[in-house]
Amino acid sequence: MKMVILDGYTENPGDLSWDALHRLGDLTVYDRTSLTDEAEIIDRIGSAEIILTNKTPITRHMMDSCPSIKYIAVLATGYNVVDVAYAKEKHIPVSNVPVYGTRSVSQFAIALLLEVCHRIGHHDQTVHAGKWENCADWCYWDYPQMELAGKTYGLLGCGNIGIHTAEIAHALGMRVITYDARPTEAGRKVAEYVDLDTLFAESDILGLQMPLFPFNTGIINKENIAKMKDGVIIINNSRGQMVVEQDLADALNSGKVAAAGLDVVSTEPIRGDNPLLTAKNCIITPHMSWGAKESRQRIMDCTVANVSAFLAGTPQNVVNP
């Protein structure tokens, strides 16, 4: 079958191999395709029967314009870039990669927190700039240092990533509480389930580890920030749309929120007018939590398995059954 990957670079910038997919069919790989130029997307799909995409949208119009499409594989967990309902109407199964970055994303959440606590990157830069060499004292720090033992880590969401984040937080001596609409036994082993108001009120660090739902879109807003402790730290490497960014920026600038560590924002790539870019004590990384080579290899392996299953007539990980 003829296959096309519309935006392969982020998944594989050169350190992985597409060979397993090449063996399954006639594969064309584009590193990047415009996210907004429908004509380009349609042209690149052409007569392909299997479409692989990460963030390039596949719309109703594109499916109508490319009647050869028989299967769509998303190189990620989130699949909102595909009109899955219309794909179902056209009997086009859409598969995703349901679990791949649990360890990497939870590790990165704690990395953001540790960066907030110690500003290692900043202090490395000052040392290389000569500040330590010319310091009157034998050491210095430009930001207050924070010890995490004894603090309360509140998790908004306690799925696989939240559970592994909680395990690391415990190893650092922290108490862990969580809110999740679907408590599990695995969650109960690592965290105390509480209601939302308790989560906001008792957390020294609030970590967002939940997929985006209508109820949590904009949940980090001025009303809920007001319920939090003065000096709370907010960590988000889940979904940027959970945060009302102007409200968080205002809280950072006022000191109500002591610091934020963010790997996601509401519009990505980030726009130059995002208020968090100029907010105090706000660390922002470019949605890279998932990007460890090991995680991306799992995406590759699962995608190969997804395509193979479709070709065998038994599609798996289908999100529009």
And the tokens for 250? 């205002």
119: annotated active-site residue = no
Q: How many CB atoms lie within 10 A of CB 120?
A: 11
Spot the catalytic one: 239, 245, 296, 298: 239
Secondary structure class of 220 (helix, strand, coil): strand
Residue recorded with tokens 């965290």:
191
DSSP labels, 135-178: -SSS---SS-----TT-EEEEE--SHHHHHHHHHHHHTT-EEEE
Q: What are residue 26's DSSP bridge partners?
A: 2
Note whether 222 and 243 are within 8 A (CB): no
Spot the catalytic one: 118, 170, 175, 287: 287
Long-range contacts of 243-247 (CB under 8 A, 24+ apart): 243/208, 243/218, 244/218, 244/220, 245/274, 245/275, 245/276, 246/275, 247/220, 247/221, 247/222
Q: Tell me the C-alpha distance between 11 and 45, whole Å.
A: 19
Q: What are residue 52's DSSP bridge partners?
A: 5, 73
And the tokens for 74? 């998303």
164: annotated active-site residue = no
Helix intervals (H) in the chain: 19-22, 38-45, 60-65, 84-89, 102-118, 120-128, 160-171, 185-190, 196-202, 222-226, 245-254, 293-311
Would you put residue 280 in left (φ > 0), alpha (ψ -120 to 50) or beta? beta
Spot the catalytic one: 22, 60, 89, 268: 268
Q: Tell me the C-alpha distance between 153 and 163, whole Å.
A: 12
239: annotated active-site residue = yes
Q: Tell me the C-alpha distance between 305 and 318, whole Å.
A: 12
For the annotated catalytic residues, the residue numbers are 239, 268, 287
